[in-house]
A and B are shown apart, each in its own frame.
Chain A
């Protein structure tokens, strides 16, 4: 069997575990040098994981959101930056898979993502708008068969390493700020002039520099559905689920380190419970809560996808927002618990119990689309939406 055949024969999780081994070996360097995790991304390509979500008839494996979330969690335990890159790529892929089925250009592009293992970047954030992704200042201009766009994209993760960027804008120069489209631009169809440097507390390897984006491409590369629909029906759900899976991975690895610390102490004094044991039990409760929220959200999403009314309902939007808020806050509490358990050995870099990188990476979660913004949206919906108080409803 050739290399490709054998890669496809093993399960998705086994393949991601091999990527995670490579990512873990370089995680410290990626963090300290704030550089692109090229070894991990190359390993994703070798394992054909960048195309796994693409439908089977287009050369992918039709991986489900649950499967991809599991992959994010596996990689999140090794290198959060690499895992977030993997998650963001698949969030972009989900827009293609969910909203451009009947469209020839986009089908062809999806086939290329699978066959060439193209890495997809995202440019929603804009100068003057911030994380308010349902509004744009910039507008795409269509002239004949060509479209042109210039955007002050203040954050584009791995912008320089992406093979294509999916970018939002107003639908035309006269369009209202919320009347948006998303367009695929291939690497040779745009220029990026760097405007901001990503020198951050954590998630340093996502290399989310700011750029002035200037692109020109055939107009058929504009996604056929309005961005409002893409955001409400697939993108927000994918983003909150896959981000949460990455964050769960960070917290799960912190937990594993704290548990190793407690077990080592217990082995030294078997007749006496180590001081961190109770706190570890508390962390375990919190970690289970994060896991349960993700699993419940995936189930709700899969169910809602069968019914467009459910998918665009407020109850679904509230539930998906709540997942992001809960997981982004809870992982900080978990990692903090783990830090208290491991003490100085957790605080110091370069020990088997080091948690500094985990804590720094985890702090990005609340800012990645500001929790305040998301809570603001949810609070608006709660003015009319009545929370479902049933347990299984």
Chain B
């Protein structure tokens, strides 16, 4: 499974969005779609668990979680290579 599909799945189960994630483009604004700051933290925790990563302080901001694409590139940057392959 690609990172982006994994990320979509995790958003669907932890993002608490009022809309169906499948209807969102990779670059759609997740905050406009209803992502709350609380849900973004839960999302972060779920991503850390799934990919065995830890978001560094510099990534803990709104920008990192602004879209499915932004989250996926953050994860790709942090995930150990073997898991990405």
Question: Which A residues are within 8 Å of any B CB, using their own CB?
Answer: 134-135, 171, 175-179, 226, 228-229, 232, 309, 312-315, 377, 380-381, 383-386
A226-B62 CB under 8 A given contacts A134-B36, A385-B57: no
Question: Which chain A positions have C-beta within 8 A of B44?
Answer: 384
Q: In the complex, what distance in Å separates the CA atom of A383 from the CA atom of B19? A: 26
Residues in B with CB closer than 8 Å to A315 are 57, 60
Give the contacting residue for A386; candidates B34, B57, B63; CB below 8 A: B57
A312 to B66, CA, bound (A): 12
Contact between chains at B31 and A179 (CB < 8 Å): yes
CB pair A313–B41 under 8 Å, yes or no, is: no
Query: A177–B37 Cα gap in the complex (Å)?
Result: 12
- Whether A309 contacts B58 by the Cβ 8 Å rule is yes
> Which residues of chain A have C-beta atoms less than 8 A from B34's C-beta?
176-179
A309 in complex: contacting residue of B37, B41, B61, CB < 8 Å? B61
Bound form: Cα–Cα A324–B58 in Å:
24
Chain A contacts of B61 at CB under 8 A?
309, 312-314
Interface residues of B, CB < 8 Å — how many?
22
Residues of A within 8 A of B32 (CB): 171, 175-176, 179, 226
B14 CB, nearest partner CB in chain A, Å: 13
CA distance A175 to B18 in the complex (A): 10
| A229: nearest chain-B partner, CB-CB | B62
Interchain CB contact under 8 A, B31 and A383: no
- Return the CB mask of B41-85 against A: 1 if under 8 Å, else 0: 100110010000001011011110000000000000000000000
CA distance A313 to B41 in the complex (A): 13
Judge whether B35 is part of the interface by a CB distance below 8 angstroms: yes
> Is the pair A313, B60 in contact by a Cβ cutoff of 8 Å?
yes
Contacts of A377 on B, CB cut-off 8 Å?
37-38
| Prevailing SS type, chain A contact patch | loop
B28: Cβ under 8 A from any A Cβ: no
What are 14 pairs between A and B in contact, CB < 8 Å? A175-B32, A176-B19, A178-B31, A228-B62, A312-B63, A314-B61, A315-B60, A377-B38, A380-B37, A380-B38, A384-B41, A384-B44, A384-B45, A386-B57
Looking at the complex, which one of B35, B45, B58, B62 makes contact with A383 (CB distance below 8 Å)? B45
**Once A and B bind, how many residue pairs between them come within 8 Å at the CB atom?**
58
Q: Which of B17, B31, B33, B41 contacts A228 (CB 8 A)?
A: B31
Query: Which A residues are in CB contact (< 8 Å) with B55?
Result: 384
Contact between A134 and B37 (Cβ–Cβ < 8 Å)? Answer: yes
Q: Which of A176, A232, A314 contacts B18 (CB 8 A)?
A: A176
**B36 — which chain A residues lie within 8 A by C-beta?**
134-135, 178
Chain B residues lying within 8 Å of A383, measured Cβ to Cβ, are 41, 45
Chain A residues lying within 8 Å of B35, measured Cβ to Cβ, are 178
Alpha-carbon gap, A384 to B56, bound state (A): 9
Nearest chain B CB to A360 CB, angstrom units: 33
The 9 A-B residue pairs whose C-beta atoms are closest, nearest first, are: A176-B34, A314-B60, A312-B61, A312-B62, A179-B32, A380-B41, A313-B61, A384-B44, A178-B36
Closest chain A CB from B30 CB (angstroms): 10
Distance between B65 CB and nearest chain A CB, rounded to angstroms: 11
Residue of chain B at shortest CB distance from A316: B61
Closest chain B residue to A171, Cβ basis: B32
* Contact (Cβ within 8 A) B62 A232: yes
Q: How far is the CB of B42 from chain A (nearest CB, A)?
A: 8
Contacts of A177 in B (CB 8 A): 34
Tell me which residues across on chain B come within 8 A of A178, comparing CB atoms: 31, 34-36
* Interchain nearest-CB distance for A238 vs B (Å): 18
Minimum CB distance partner of B34 in chain A:
A176
User: Which A residue's beta carbon lies closest to that of B62?
Assistant: A312
Assembled-state Cα–Cα distance A198/B24 (Å): 45
The residue of chain A having its C-beta at the shortest distance from the C-beta of B18 within the complex is A176
Cα A179 to Cα B44 with chains together (Å): 20
Give the residues in chain B near A229, CB-CB below 8 Å.
62
